[in-house]
Amino acid sequence: MEKIDIISKLPYSKPFLFVDKIIKIDENGVEGEYTFDADLDFYKGHFKDNPVTPGVILIEVMAQIGLVCLGVFLLNEKVNKNTLMALTSTEIEFLKPVFPNEKVTVHSRKIYFRFGKLKCKVSMQNEKKEIVCSGTISGMVI
């Protein structure tokens, strides 16, 4: 499966698509990028005069790249318009803020994929290669 095909099969669209590029992907993990556009609505109020990317959005980026993209790759031809992927659990530690116009890279390693449930160890780095957040994310195919 081509990397661009994976992105096209994601169940998201702008402004809630948080995957710009898949750098590499195989049955054990994925690496991808996203750049936070300064015009995204959540920056208007989080925080006044000093915008920071909300943690829930950082989790969403990690889930879209590190879990859903990998799930689409692993399921391959079984993914269609009726396939739903639901987030079931997260345990994330936040270490540094992410600001508007920052590009982040998400690294994900599969822990397991069985019975329709995928669990991954995921980390996000900024352009300085500093880890901004990391942890585990799980989801399942419905």
Q: What is the pLDDT of residue 118?
A: 97
**pTM, to two decimals:** 0.94
Which residues make Cβ contacts (< 8 Å) with residue 137, sequence separation at least 6? Answer: 59, 62, 63, 66, 67, 87, 89, 90, 92, 108, 119, 120, 122
Q: Tell whether the model's pLDDT for residue 35 goes beyond 90.
A: yes
Is it the case that residue 1 has pLDDT exceeding 70? no
Catalytic residue (one of 3, 21, 46, 109)? 46
pLDDT tens profile 62-91 = 999 999 999 999 998 787 777 878 999 999
Q: Is 107 a catalytic residue?
A: no
pLDDT band at 113; cut points 50, 70, 90: very high
Q: What single-letter amino acid sits at 35?
A: T
Helices (H), the chain: 3-8, 55-63, 70-75
Looking at residue 13, what DSSP letter applies? -
Average pLDDT on 92-120 reads 97
Distance CA 115, CA 60 (A): 23
| Domains present along the chain, CATH in parentheses | 3-141 (3.10.129.10)
